Structure 1
């Protein structure tokens, strides 16, 4: 039941005028984050071990993969603090500086993961759709430069989180803001909207386009190859579909419900509507974390097969180009 809390914050936004029954989040968020922490940590450490100690020559895909694994691991390492915080019913036991750090690391590595997923999709797109020309564009050195650029960009754009994140005494609670304090919320809304557009909407469009073109290319009839080639194509198509579904199920609901909740707070809508958007946002928050468990399975396990497929296509393309050159010369 939602009731106005008129005894305090009389001139505040709807978030502070309304009192929500959010007991569900004290079970949902610790359970969700706790499960992701255990499963995701094991999978990502395993993937990191194999990449560091079992792969001798790093391809561009491997470089993006190790950066993605680092992002996911650092993201996962912030979850135990949030598990403790929500299990203790919004009682932050640490300092405000540590609250800022946890929120900063949480979002930095979340958006770092999205960007490196986009880099991997672009790399796979070039290898499948432009196997010969991509040899001039794709190299381990360029992948390292792109990775450095991704880290620098994410760190710069997430730095404001260190300013916006605050702690606040709220009755018997010491809240570590996921957003910011009341007086800074309008500024935070602008910042959050820009970050969501640059680091989710644009990468999501890139992933959709790249994977869509890859499916189209893989489904084209190919005179070269036999049953093995066809099975490999079908497997690649299935994996691309899983990538798109994962992106849409993990990141899209989180960003949609968060944006809706923030807008409703800004517009000071009715308490019932605001509570509904708040519940939807909190339900989708663990979904964004699940991606950290899927990444090492989806990309690393398919890495060797993808490299073999890409090498085969490159060699095939080189033979075709060579045959064309010979025919022209004759």
Structure 2
């Protein structure tokens, strides 16, 4: 059975290469992408599943990742230029957006190595050290992307639902310290990839087998957890904002409506980029446990192809910036010559000016009630 290797950077699993039975074809036993899974009851001969690299998947991923590299480099370079030189003053929202841009660059600078990897039918030729760094940075990109997408969503939640909370009024430096703490946690969570051993011609970050290490089990758990937990927080934020808009009758105001649109884009980017690999990776794990070799082969090839969607986040994130920052789209159009240049820059938090008016109206209403009470007492 032709098999398939589960790859690398944001993959969920791959199977460890091992010594194959002598009865297997030489082409399979010598393939650097072949691997074996041992099954069977004690004392019986093992029944191996042999997913191996698919030339069709490699032929698809090499050009797809090349296109994503070019588009991601252009979009994020423009975004970083706008945020650094055309956005004044910075806000807490800007800090998280810039962190997301940095996370995308971790992916972009490593994509050419993955293009070469798939162009050579999953043969890694840059050595073990470069492989470790490559997998570490790609995995860090995935973790940082979901973390800062969640931070952007929760920041919007605070601005609309909890405008009086001290976190809603956090300074830029406070947001920068929070972002720094998040980056430190992300690097620690993925640091085990720098300690893993890669001795063959494949460059893989996940393996499935009977003798899985603690590092591998942690990596698999992190892959699943860092998808579902942030997604729950993002959905909580968008539902809370929707209920707040309905309860306070804010549907006609610009700021809350922009927040809902931005969070809708966050959910869309999140699901498009990360859901396929998570679902197919979990399906491959189930097929592996059930010894369903044919289903494992199909799921592994689909999973491998879904990496193109995972890496697509660097291309789609600049679309999110257009919805998140009211100044970003104007500055981008001006720099591309699509509109007249804008002098100065709108505050990112200006989209929440209606919330400020709401607070002012609340204060006036309380003052009126207090005055009426005093007049009643005097009467």
Of Structure 1 and Structure 2, the greater helix share is in 1
Shift in CA distance, 165/262, structure 1 to aligned 2, threshold 3 Å: farther
CA contact (8 A) 2:160 2:256 kept: no
Whole-angstrom distance in 1 between the partners of 2:168 and 2:239: 23
Alpha-carbon offset, residue 20 of structure 1: 3.5
Residue 52 (str. 1) matches residue 79 (str. 2): no
Aligned match for 1:13, one of 37, 47, 52: 37
Shift in CA distance, 318/252, structure 1 to aligned 2, threshold 3 Å: same
Corresponding residue for residue 34 of structure 1: 66
Shift in CA distance, 322/142, structure 1 to aligned 2, threshold 3 Å: farther
Corresponding residue for residue 89 of structure 1: 121
Corresponding residue for residue 311 of structure 2: 289
Shift in CA distance, 235/314, structure 1 to aligned 2, threshold 3 Å: closer
CA contact (8 A) 1:75 1:109 kept: yes
In structure 1, the residue corresponding to 2:109 is in which secondary structure?
Answer: helix
Shift in CA distance, 101/184, structure 1 to aligned 2, threshold 3 Å: farther
Whole-angstrom distance in 2 between the partners of 1:128 and 1:264: 44
Aligned match for 2:356, one of 314, 319, 328: 314
Residue 276 (str. 1) matches residue 303 (str. 2): no
Alpha-carbon offset, residue 300 of structure 1: 4.2
Residue 209 (str. 1) matches residue 232 (str. 2): no
Q: TM-score, normalised by structure 1?
A: 0.85
Aligned match for 1:248, one of 246, 271, 283: 271
Q: Of the two, which has the highest radius of gyration?
A: 2
Unaligned segments of structure 1, at least 5 residues:
169-173
Corresponding residue for residue 171 of structure 1: none
Alpha-carbon offset, residue 295 of structure 1: 1.3
Aligned match for 2:282, one of 244, 249, 259: 259
CA contact (8 A) 2:280 2:302 kept: yes
Alpha-carbon offset, residue 153 of structure 1: 0.5
CA contact (8 A) 1:164 1:184 kept: no
Shift in CA distance, 185/262, structure 1 to aligned 2, threshold 3 Å: farther
Alpha-carbon offset, residue 264 of structure 1: 3.8
Whole-angstrom distance in 2 between the partners of 1:107 and 1:41: 18
Shift in CA distance, 56/291, structure 1 to aligned 2, threshold 3 Å: same
CA contact (8 A) 1:101 1:162 kept: yes
Select between 96-105 and 231-240 the one with higher mean Cα deviation: 231-240
Q: String of CA shifts for 1:146-187, please: whole Å, max 9, x gaps.
A: 10111111110101111235141xxxxx21123259686454
Whole-angstrom distance in 2 between the partners of 1:214 and 1:52: 30
Whole-angstrom distance in 2 between the partners of 1:290 and 1:221: 37
Q: TM-score, normalised by structure 2?
A: 0.75
Shift in CA distance, 136/247, structure 1 to aligned 2, threshold 3 Å: closer
Whole-angstrom distance in 2 between the partners of 1:310 and 1:264: 49
In structure 2, the residue corresponding to 1:164 is in which secondary structure?
Answer: coil
Whole-angstrom distance in 2 between the partners of 1:132 and 1:261: 47
Runs of 4+ residues deviating >4 angstroms: 14-17, 134-137, 180-184, 231-236
Q: How large is the RMSD of aligned CA atoms in angstroms?
A: 2.8
Residue 99 (str. 1) matches residue 128 (str. 2): no
**How many residues in Structure 1 have an aligned counterpart in Structure 2?**
318
Shift in CA distance, 220/36, structure 1 to aligned 2, threshold 3 Å: farther
CA contact (8 A) 2:262 2:323 kept: no
Corresponding residue for residue 366 of structure 2: 324
CA contact (8 A) 1:39 1:293 kept: yes
In structure 2, the residue corresponding to 1:294 is in which secondary structure?
Answer: helix
Corresponding residue for residue 179 of structure 1: 206
Alpha-carbon offset, residue 41 of structure 1: 1.0
CA contact (8 A) 2:155 2:168 kept: no
Corresponding residue for residue 237 of structure 1: 260
